Amino acid sequence: MNGALPAYVIRPMLNVATAFVQQALLGLGDGVIEAGRVDYRGPFSMTLQTWNTNNHQQTYGVLGAAIAALRDYMAENGYGAASFVIFDGANEVGKGVVGPEG
């Protein structure tokens, strides 16, 4: 983690990011994320950003699993700004950050 932040700031960001992914899955199916990146602004000026890496592509399902893992990790270890790596099985498909806008 990059820096502690109150749970009331980060938890809503992860919740709305989860809802965003669920809506995309319902509307678009588990397809490749358009343009290879997500720039999502949530409550309290928090952002979630992800991008493709290693010549692989993120899908909405994989992104949803990554956000769920991040939520579980923070629930156990504390909330804060974080950078993370997204895997689809053994393949690194993306990287991301969650935290204050800017």
Q: Name the region of 17 (left: φ>0; alpha: ψ -120 to 50; beta: rest).
A: alpha
CB 101 within 8 A of CB 45: yes
Per domain, the residue ranges of the chain are 3-100
* Torsion sign across C-alpha atoms 77, 94, 26, 100: positive
What CA–CA distances, in Å, run from 58 to 3, 11, 89? 26, 23, 12
pLDDT single digits (tens) 14-71:
999 999 999 999 999 999 998 999 998 988 999 999 999 999 999 999 999 999 999 9
Tokens of 18: 């989860």
Confidence of residue 90 (pLDDT cuts 50, 70, 90): very high
Tokens of 96: 């991301």
pTM of the prediction? Answer: 0.91
Report the top-level CATH class of 3-100: alpha beta
CA distance 12 to 80: 12
CB 18 within 8 A of CB 96: no
State CA 30 to chain mean position distance: 15
